[in-house]
Copies of this chain bind each other. A is one copy, B any other.
């Protein structure tokens, strides 16, 4: 269930905690406490409160896709032939069910989606693009293949 974010007032210590954990999510609580100039128990309580308030949504290891055989990361801009809710829902359900689709964003303007996908190789990428193109109600697919990622910062600026 979604939570109102306004019920959580974040002071500067909270923001420091968030910045530290965004940078290193596996830091021990004592190290975190040291960095934000707190002793361990209140620091831990703040972290728990931030987790329970939904400010911290989770912690994830950042894994090199290439090491697991995902040589290609690409985006796809998909245009649908209708903006009817049923059509949007059907496409969303299809796209999110594919493991290769890592992100699926509905874009303002109606009937467009931006996807981030991974593929094992060029053949796999072509197959995924073809599957998208041939999916029901899909009008056009523009693939945006990443050749270089100059910046891939986690999350949000905290300052």
- Taking beta carbons and an 8 Å cutoff, which residues of A are in contact with B? 5, 8, 10, 15, 18, 21-26, 53-68, 70, 75, 77, 92, 95-96, 99-109, 112, 114, 118, 144-159
Bound-state CA distance A18–B70 (Å) is 14
> Which residues from chain B contact A144 at a C-beta distance below 8 Å?
77, 105, 107-108, 112, 114
- Identical chains bound together, number: 2
List 6 A-B residue pairs with CB atoms under 8 Å apart, sorted by A's residue number. A5-B64, A5-B66, A5-B67, A21-B63, A75-B105, A102-B157
Bound-state CA distance A56–B67 (Å) is 9
Chain B residue nearest to A115 in the complex (CB): B151
Bound-state CA distance A83–B102 (Å) is 29
> Which residues from chain B contact A55 at a C-beta distance below 8 Å?
63-64, 67-68
Given contacts A67-B53, A68-B156, contact A60 B18 (CB under 8 A): no
- A77, A145, A155: most-surrounded residue (chain B CB, <10 A): A155
Given B10, B61, B99, B146, which contacts A22 in the complex, CB threshold below 8 Å? B61
Bound-state CA distance A65–B157 (Å) is 9
Distance of A27 from chain B, by nearest CB (Å): 8
Bound-state CA distance A26–B121 (Å) is 32
> Which residues from chain B contact A62 at a C-beta distance below 8 Å?
56-60, 154-155
B24 touches A59 (CB 8 A): yes
B61 touches A25 (CB 8 A): yes
